Structure formats: C-alpha cells, structure tokens
C-alpha cells in the first residue's frame, strides 16, 4: 500500500504511553517518520493525534493548540505523583462545601503560574524531572505561566469532583487538581483524565486503539487519516503557477496572490488536493510575497 501522509486521530486507552502508540503506528504502517501532538500520561485516555510521514513537519504549527480535558479528582488525599498512580502522602477528613469548590475553581481562570509535577518528562538542568524524583532528589522547579480558558465543575459527589478544562499547551491537569486541593485546604489528586480535543480535532472523530492490533485494519487506518491539505483548516489556501511552485520548493520567494493577505499570515500552498508548502506572507519591496517555511514531498 502506498505510504500516505497526514494526521491519524486515535482514542488512546489507559496503559500505553504516547510513545508506545507512536511505535505501534510506525510498525503497522511501515512509516519511519511518526510523531504526536502532545503527550498523554499512561493512565490517561482520549484523543491522541498522530502525525504520519510529511505531517510531522506540521507539529510546530499544531502543537500549540489548546487542549480540552474531562478530569476526575478525589478530594481529601494528596499523592507524590499528583495522581492515582502515586503514594498517598497526606489525608484530610474535612471536605469543603460544594459552593466552596465552585468558588475555588473560578480562581484558576485566565493566566496562572503552575509548577510542573516532579514526576513529569519536563527537562530540568539537562535531565527529565521524573528521573530525579525517582532518585529522591529535592528539586525546586520554577513555575511557568499557562492559561486556563475554561474550568467548569461538571459533577460533585464528595469526595469526587469532575471538571472540564480547556487550557493552553504545557498545562498539567495533575498540577491543577493538586493546586485546587490546596486552595480548598483538603488536598486533592487526579484519579482519571480523558482528553476530548486538541485544537479543532475531537475525540469523537478518533479511531479506537484496537485498530492497531491487526494488520488487516491497515485500510481502515489509512482511510481515517486526515490529508495534509486539511490539517491546518484555519490557514487560507492559495494556488500558484507551476513556475512559482518550483521556486517555492527551492526555497525562493514568489509574489503573493492579490487577495488581501495580512503581514506574517501563514498560508497553505495547495496543488490539486495536496499540500505543497506552508508559506508566510511578507511585505516585499513593491508587493507582498510568499516566503516558504515548510515544503512537502509527494504532492
């Protein structure tokens, strides 16, 4: 079967790491270049967009998308990993009133400072944090700024709380759960996490992980892949002549079509139904031009 490039939406189950899923796709599809758009912890489920072939070149442009989660918390217990996979390090018998939970959740909306969990893959001083944590090293991890666009309380049945979160990339829902527990004065940890969306991609559109179990499912896999030309729907599509296309592929600047493009706007250069390049609109000496930033093969 001819190799196809694009984005494969998978509904990851609990257990495998995101890298495990990438490896399975690589083996099944026989494609060397495979990556994903944002790690899901092994115990987490939900949407894992996997970039196949030339689509790996899109990661810098898609990896910054907001993400939507459904998270289940347990109040009254803290763990060393901030989730149910760790050891309980503190307990509280006193749980907050339901109204207090709603008020505390509102405090996290907008731009906040968040300290990444010690048991995470964040690089610190040239090493992954989780390796330092497993050695018992005391590490003062600097906080970083993230944005919580939405934090809604979906259900409360103490000590259990379910929240819906829409956040910027780099947000740790485990850390958000622990911080919410601190504000409430009872502690909390994450007991379940499901990713519902990554940017415009939705888990409802995803294929189940079981399609990776059998090579006979390969046609289904390729049939469900999102073609390169459709992977950045928010970027306008432009068409150029054969000569300009050749020059773009050689890294040269070409005139932009007179369609009112904005300065620094990212556009898709399409040929037939394929994506030939991503280009940025710049102001040239006499007119706006297209500056190639990514060129794609096989279109």
**What pLDDT is recorded for position 88?**
97
Which of 123, 124, 110, 108 has the alpha carbon at shortest distance from 175? 108
Catalytic sites, residue numbers: 41
**DSSP for residue 234:** T
pLDDT at residue 133 in the model: 66
Judge residue 219's burial from the number of C-beta atoms within 10 Å of its C-beta, 0-12 exposed, 13-18 middle, 19 or more buried. exposed
Please tell me the distance from the alpha carbon of residue 46 to that of residue 25, in angstroms, as a whole number: 16
pLDDT in tens, 219-232: 888 889 999 988 88
Sites in the chain below the pLDDT cut of 70 = 1-3, 119-121, 123-127, 130, 132-133, 136-137, 298-299
β partners of residue 12:
46
Domain 6-65+200-230 bears CATH identifier 3.40.50.1820: no
Asked whether the beta carbons of 11 and 207 are under 8 A apart, the reply is: yes
pLDDT for 1 equals 41
**Start-end of H helices in the chain:** 18-29, 59-62, 98-106, 129-134, 173-184, 218-223, 242-249
Query: According to the CATH classification, is domain 67-198 in 3.30.2350.10?
Result: yes
**Domain 236-295's class?**
mainly beta
Intrachain domains 6-65+200-230 and 236-295 with the same fold: no
User: So what's the pLDDT on residue 120?
Assistant: 67
pTM: 0.89
How far CA 291 is from CA of 57, 225, 241, 280, in Å, comes to 16, 28, 15, 5
- Residue pLDDT, tens place only, 140-199: 778 899 999 999 999 999 999 999 999 999 999 999 999 999 999 999 999 999 999 999
Listed by start position, the domains of the chain span 6-65+200-230, 67-198, 236-295
């Amino acid at each position: 079967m001819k190799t196809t490039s694009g984005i494969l939406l998978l509904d990851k189950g609990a257990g495998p790491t995101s890298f495990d899923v990438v490896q399975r796709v690589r083996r099944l599809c026989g494609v060397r270049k495979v990556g994903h758009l944002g790690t899901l912890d092994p115990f987490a489920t939900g949407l894992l967009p996997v970039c196949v072939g030339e689509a790996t070149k899109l990661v810098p442009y898609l990896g910054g998308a907001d993400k939507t989660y459904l998270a289940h918390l347990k109040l009254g217990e803290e763990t060393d990993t901030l989730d149910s996979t760790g050891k309980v390090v503190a307990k509280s018998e006193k749980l907050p009133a339901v109204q207090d939970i709603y008020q505390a959740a509102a405090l996290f909306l907008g731009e906040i400072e968040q300290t990444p969990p010690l048991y995470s893959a964040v690089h610190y001083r040239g090493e992954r944090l989780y390796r330092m944590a497993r050695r018992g090293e005391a590490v003062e991890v600097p906080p970083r700024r993230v944005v919580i666009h939405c934090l809604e309380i979906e259900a409360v049945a103490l000590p259990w709380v379910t929240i819906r979160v829409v956040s910027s990339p780099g947000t740790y829902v485990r850390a958000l759960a622990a911080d919410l527990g601190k504000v409430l004065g009872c502690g909390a940890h994450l007991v379940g996490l499901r990713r519902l969306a990554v940017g415009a991609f939705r888990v409802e559109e995803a294929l189940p992980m079981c399609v990776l179990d059998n090579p006979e499912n390969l046609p289904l896999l390729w049939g469900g892949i999102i073609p390169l030309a459709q992977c950045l729907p928010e970027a306008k599509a432009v068409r150029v002549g054969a000569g300009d296309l050749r020059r773009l592929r050689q890294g040269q600047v070409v005139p932009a079509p007179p369609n009112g493009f904005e300065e620094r706007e990212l556009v898709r250069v399409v040929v037939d139904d394929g994506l030939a390049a991503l280009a940025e609109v710049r102001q040239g000496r006499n007119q706006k031009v297209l500056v190639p930033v990514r060129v794609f093969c096989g279109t």
